[in-house]
Structure 1
């Protein structure tokens, strides 16, 4: 069986870091992922996907990712349910196995002042080869 999810999107809020009673770190955040098409008004819609990151990965996410930052998540889909006020509540979420921070630390976010200049993180901007590092593809 295969259960694999790969997402790229922007955080809708700062990650929330908590610890289980046994001391295991867990971070929760939501990614807004654009759909690949526009609606009838010509606007792009997005899906808001809940993500969970456990242990050191969760601590790193909580420390380095903030609202509006671009992130890539590789993980698995998980469904669970619980009882609330006599009703069964179902939750679908992505359990992250890795999270990539896709913008440099100083990159412009939606919360920066409009007169601040954005950092150009286009690897092709100076004509350089982004694959010249020798890293395998």
Structure 2
């Protein structure tokens, strides 16, 4: 099963890209935080950054309402894609949003 749930903040204003076929995609980064226990017994905040993509109605919602710092809960799936850059094969993973809630 490929299922991702995240609650965090948008780290960038969504970039809207219109494809040749007329479909629109919103791309942005999102951060999530968790508290971890250090070896010394104290708690420390650990931040992760995620690449996010949204299609269709969610791209429209994020285009109209999305801003850096907005808190979101998202549900989606992990997508990995490959591309060539300067003769080297590169890999990028991102969360493709199926549903979201603005918090």
- RCO greater where, 1 or 2, for CA within 8 Å and sep 6 or more? 2
1:84 equivalent in structure 2: 85
Distance 1:21 1:32 in 2: 30
1:3 equivalent in structure 2: 2
| Gapped regions of structure 2 (runs ≥ 5) | none
Which residues in structure 2 correspond to 1:63-74 (within 5 Å)? Answer: 63-74=64-75
Distance 2:91 2:100 in 1: 25
Q: Structure 1, residues 18-47: CA drift from partner, whole Å, max 9, x if none?
A: 110111010001110002315568541211
Question: Does the 8 Å CA contact 2:35/2:43 hold for their aligned counterparts?
Answer: no
Number of residue pairs matched by the alignment: 101
Structure 1 residue ranges (4+ consecutive) displaced by more than 6 angstroms after TM superposition: none
Which residues in structure 2 correspond to 1:1-137 (within 5 Å)? Answer: 2-37=1-36, 42-102=43-103
TM-score, scaled to structure 2: 0.90
3-state DSSP class of the match of 2:63? Answer: helix
Distance 1:53 1:39 in 2: 35
Give the structure with the larger strand fraction.
2
| Gapped regions of structure 1 (runs ≥ 5) | 103-137
Question: Does the 8 Å CA contact 1:65/1:101 hold for their aligned counterparts?
Answer: no
Cα gap change, 1:59/1:38 in structure 2, threshold over 3 Å: closer, same or farther? farther
C-alpha displacement at 1:101, in angstroms? 0.4
Larger radius of gyration: 1
TM-score, scaled to structure 1: 0.69
